[in-house]
Amino acid sequence: MRKLRAVLIEDETMFRQLILMTLAKVKDLQVIGEFGQGKPGLEFCLREKPDMLVVDLMLPDLNGMEIAREVRRALPDTKILVITAHPSERLPADLMVLGVNGYVDKTEPIEYVLSAVETVRSGGMFFASRVRAKGGLNPGLPVTPPTLQVPLTEREQEIARLVAAGQMSKEIAAKLNLSVRTVEKHRANIMEKVGVREVASLTRWCIQSGLVDN
C-alpha cells in the first residue's frame, strides 16, 4: 500500500498535536502539511492534492464546511475526514451531502480517529458522534444523485431501512416476527456487504443508494 499523503487543519494547538501523534500510528501515512488556519490549509490542499484531508469545522478564518466543499469540488478523489467539538443533529446529513467520507466528534475517544482513517482509506465511511442524526438534508446544498447499487436481499433491505430509521434489533425482531439473533445476523451481513462499521455510515449508504428517502 503506497503512502497516504494527509493534510491536517486544526486551530487548537494541543488537539492538533494530539491528532498528529495519533496519525503517526497509521502505517504508511505521511502528514505533508499541518495548519491552524483554514485559508492557507485550503490553498495548500488545492496545490499539493493530498490523498486525505482531516479538517476541523470551527476555524477562526474559514468554515470547515466551505473547505470541505472546495476540496470535494476541486479534488474529487481526496478523502475528507471532519472533526468537531460542536456536533448537531443535522450535521452528519449535511456532511453526507457534501461528500465527506468520515466524521468524528471530538468528545469521542481519540482512537476513533484511527478507526476513521483506516475505514475511509479503504473506501468505507465512518460517522461517529454522540448526537443522533435525524433525517432532513440541507436544501441549500447540492444533492448527489444515487449511484450505489444495492447488493442486498429483500429481507436485508427491509432490515437496513429499519436500522437507518433508528430502530434497535429488539424492535425490528418484534416488527418482523423474527428472533433477535436472526436480526443481528442480518445486520452483520448487511454491514459486511455494504462495507461500513456503524449505523450512521449505513444510514448514509441507504440514503445515497435510494433505499430510504432523504
- Say yes or no: 123 and 165 in one domain: no
- Say yes or no: 110 and 160 in one domain: no
- Strand order in 4-9's β-sheet? 29-35, 4-9, 52-56, 79-84, 102-105, 126-128
Q: Is the pLDDT of residue 211 over 90?
A: no
Average pLDDT for 36-61: 95
Q: Domain of 159?
A: 154-209
Average pLDDT for 113-135: 71
Per-residue pLDDT of 147-170, as tens digits, reads 344 567 888 888 988 988 888 899
Residues in contact with 106: Cβ distance below 8 Å, sequence separation at least 6, in sequence order: 15, 83, 84, 85
**DSSP conformational letter for 179:** -
Instruction: List the alpha helices (DSSP H) in 58-179.
Output: 64-74, 91-98, 111-121, 154-164, 169-176
Establish if 53 belongs to a structural domain. Answer: yes
- Say yes or no: 173 and 121 in one domain: no
Q: Is the pLDDT of residue 109 over 90?
A: no
Q: Residue 23: which CATH number? A: 3.40.50.2300
Per-residue pLDDT of 52-66, as tens digits, reads 999 999 899 989 999
Establish if 103 belongs to a structural domain. Answer: yes
- Say yes or no: 180 and 94 in one domain: no
Residue that wins the pLDDT comparison between 87 and 7: 7
Predicted pLDDT at 103: 86
- Say yes or no: 56 and 115 in one domain: yes
- Say yes or no: 168 and 120 in one domain: no
Largest CA distance in the chain: 56
Predicted pLDDT at 135: 41
Give the total number of structural domains in the chain: 2
Cα separation, 137 vs 123, whole angstroms: 23
- Say yes or no: 187 and 94 in one domain: no
